[in-house]
């Protein structure tokens, strides 16, 4: 029991940190562009699929971890420049548009990648003993990488000029324009950054879950839950919420059926939406 609980807690933290990266990307895009990006789960999936190809070609997971997110970043760049830019000021239209993009991306992957789920071998095969069980080292490495990326993001937002611009646009868009901040460029790089974060977590998740074209669909909803509960536009609220929700879900699943846990977390989200639409950590 103790070992089961320990594994559930560890898994909850590892998965929570991956989810936090996804939610950060979604929330970053929402906070700046006010776009609910329905294609975010598809970008996460695309990252995992690209990494599978890179690993097939080179056999190197770490190379995939660098290349795949950049490739998805390019996709994000094309989507923002080509499609979303003209409709950025209409929230409902962008929801529908990104829903269409999601359909297209999923179908493209289904056509070229196929409908069967594929596995990626653990790049670090070792295990460490945990009570009477063995825990894969790779998962701990994944959690560490996630945490490191979040640290890097924090530095980027708080210590660089672009980060300052981004925070300025979130705070007061008109004033930012008046001060000469190139708002449309900031939008563009924010969307790219969000796409890269989604893809990066897709590559990180790939050795844990299997890679298939529908893997982003349920993740998208989880990411929504996290962003809303943590507060839309509140990045660090998302991180805390991601870890807490994953822990509750992981530990809860030992005691109740997973679907019951899902229904309860969805019900909780409705409650948050109605009572505190600004999120639990919002002002």
Q: Which residues bind another protein (CB under 8 A)?
A: 36, 83, 86-87, 91-93, 95-97, 99-104, 106-108, 110-111, 217, 221, 224, 228, 257, 259-260, 262-263, 266-267, 269-270, 273-274, 277
| Nearest distance in Å: CB 88, another protein | 12
| Nearest distance in Å: CB 229, another protein | 11
CA 152 vs. chain centroid, Å, equals 15
**Residue 244 and residue 2: Cα distance in Å, rounded?**
20
| Nearest distance in Å: CB 265, another protein | 10
Q: Using the minimum distance from each CB to another protein, give the nearer residue, 160 or 260.
A: 260
CB atoms within 10 A of CB 1: 7
| Nearest distance in Å: CB 105, another protein | 8
**Residue 54 and residue 66: Cα distance in Å, rounded?**
10
HEC per residue, 5-37? HHHHHHHHHHHHHHHHHHHHHHHHHHHHHCCCC
Q: Which two tokens stand for residue 82?
A: 């080509």
| Unique residue bearing structure tokens 């979303």 | 84
First to last CA, the chain: 40
| Nearest distance in Å: CB 103, another protein | 3
Q: Using the minimum distance from each CB to another protein, give the nearer residue, 58 or 86.
A: 86
Task: Give percent helix, percent strand, percent coil of the chain, each to the nearest 5.
Answer: 75, 5, 20
**Residue 223 and residue 234: Cα distance in Å, rounded?**
13
Contact between 210 and 119 (Cβ < 8 Å): yes
For strand 133-136 and strand 127-130, is the pairing parallel, antiparallel, or unpaired? Answer: antiparallel
| Nearest distance in Å: CB 222, another protein | 11
Q: Which two tokens stand for residue 32?
A: 């700046």
| Nearest distance in Å: CB 269, another protein | 6
Q: Using the minimum distance from each CB to another protein, give the nearer residue, 92 or 178.
A: 92
On the 0-12 / 13-18 / 19+ scale of CB atoms within 10 A, 82 is exposed
Q: Using the minimum distance from each CB to another protein, give the nearer residue, 146 or 190.
A: 190
């Amino acid at each position: 029991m103790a070992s089961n609980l320990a594994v559930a807690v560890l898994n909850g933290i590892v998965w929570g940190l991956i989810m936090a990266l996804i939610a950060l990307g979604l929330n970053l895009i929402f906070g700046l562009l006010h776009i609910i990006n329905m294609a975010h789960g598809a970008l996460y999936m695309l990252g995992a699929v690209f990494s599978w190809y890179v690993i097939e070609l080179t056999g190197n997971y770490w190379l995939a971890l660098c290349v795949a997110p950049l490739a998805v970043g390019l996709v994000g760049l094309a989507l923002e420049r080509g499609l979303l830019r003209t409709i950025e000021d209409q929230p409902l239209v962008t929801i529908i548009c990104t829903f269409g993009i999601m359909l297209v991306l999923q179908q493209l992957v289904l056509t070229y990648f196929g409908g069967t789920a594929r596995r990626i071998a653990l790049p670090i095969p070792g295990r460490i003993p945990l009570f009477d069980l063995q825990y894969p080292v790779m998962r701990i490495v994944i959690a560490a990488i996630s945490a490191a990326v979040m640290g890097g993001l924090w530095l980027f937002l708080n210590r660089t000029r672009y980060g300052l611009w981004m925070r300025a646009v979130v705070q007061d868009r008109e004033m930012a324009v008046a001060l000469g901040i190139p708002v449309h460029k900031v939008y563009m790089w924010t969307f790219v950054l969000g796409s890269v974060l989604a893809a990066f977590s897709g590559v990180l998740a790939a050795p844990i879950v299997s890679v298939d074209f529908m893997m982003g669909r349920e993740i998208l909803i989880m990411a929504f839950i996290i962003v809303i509960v943590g507060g839309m536009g509140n990045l660090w609220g998302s991180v805390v919420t991601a870890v807490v929700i994953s822990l509750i879900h992981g530990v809860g699943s030992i005691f109740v059926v997973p679907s019951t846990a899902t229904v309860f977390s969805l019900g909780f989200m409705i409650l948050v939406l109605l009572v505190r639409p600004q999120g639990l950590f919002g002002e």
